[in-house]
Structure formats: structure tokens, C-alpha cells
Amino acid sequence: MRRLASRRTIALTMGGVVLLAYVALVGLRVLYPLAYESDIANLAEIHDLDPALIAAVVRCESRFRAAAVSAHGAVGLMQIMPETGAWIAEQIPISDYSTDRLIEPELNLRLGCWYLRSLLDRFDSRDEALAAYNAGPTHVERWARGDGSIFPETRTFIDRVNASLPVYDAYFSARWLLRITPSLLL
């Protein structure tokens, strides 16, 4: 009888541990959502980018909301400014670009990934590239010369992207995590 009670206790404890672990994973998916996974993975390969970095930037910019528009006028998943989008479209080139299309997830990711790659190639560190992504390359060049200091918003952006990277690394390294938990975009 004691043996049966002991086995039940062990089974209930193990079941509770598994349930708590699953709830923690679901909570992680709420805090660190991921959508457009295959687009991100494809563009990461095309542009020689870490897919976790792309996902971290998208999370910090728009929380994966394709129609997001910032107070400054940046649009879409990767929060592309309309002027920057037009410039990137000329560089790639994309002949049918229009500002209205920035809410299209595939186009926004394509433009944002191209721009992020160009900034990583231009600046010495990932943090400088992220600062340029957030505040513009001109500001980063000024800050590097000692003219002014980084905007608090830009410092926060860099810190948030870097803090998100380990979670997105885990998602892309252990894709089974994504399959066993629902995608919860809030």
C-alpha cells in the first residue's frame, strides 16, 4: 500500500513538474512571440544574418504586428521609415515599391533584413549597427566622433535586442519548442 502511495506521489510530482515546464514555455512564447519564422529563416540565409537577430529586432520594433506604425512614422514588422524604405527599394531594386506596401510582412522583412545587413557591414560592431538601425547611421557616426551621446531610446533598443537574442537563439536551435507551444501574439 505504501509503495502504491509513493508511486502516486512521484507520478503526481512528475506530472506537476512537466505541467509547470509547459506553462513556463507558453509564458515565454507570450513574452517572446515569433511569427513569420520561415520568412525570417530564408532572409537570414540570403543576407547572411542570424535569424535570432532578425526576430529580436522585429520583437523590439513591432512585437510581430505587421501593421504597426510608430509615433515617428516607422511602419511594419521592422519599423521601416517611408524614406528609408524608398531608398532601400532603389538599392535592391524593387520596381513596384510604395509606402503603402510597408505593412506587407514579406516586403517589410525583405527591406529590413537588407538594411540590417548593410549596417552590419558598415559599422564595427553589432551594437553600432543596431544603434544605426534605430537612430540612423548619421547619428552613430556623430557619436563615434564624440559629438553628442547616444539617445536613451536607442540604448534601450540595443539592450532589448541583445536581451532577446538568447531566447530567439533557443527557438531557432530547438524548433521543437515552437511546435509544442502555441504562437501567442498579443
Number of neighbours of residue 96 by Cβ within 10 angstroms: 7
Q: Is 141 a residue of the active site? A: no
Catalytic residue among 37, 45, 61, 83: 61
Q: How far is CA 46 from each of CA 39, 40, 77, rounded to the nearest angstrom?
A: 11, 10, 18
Angstrom distances, CA of residue 44 to CA of 30, 34, 48, 112, 114:
23, 15, 6, 11, 10
Cis peptide before 137 (omega within 30 of 0): no
Residues with catalytic roles: 61
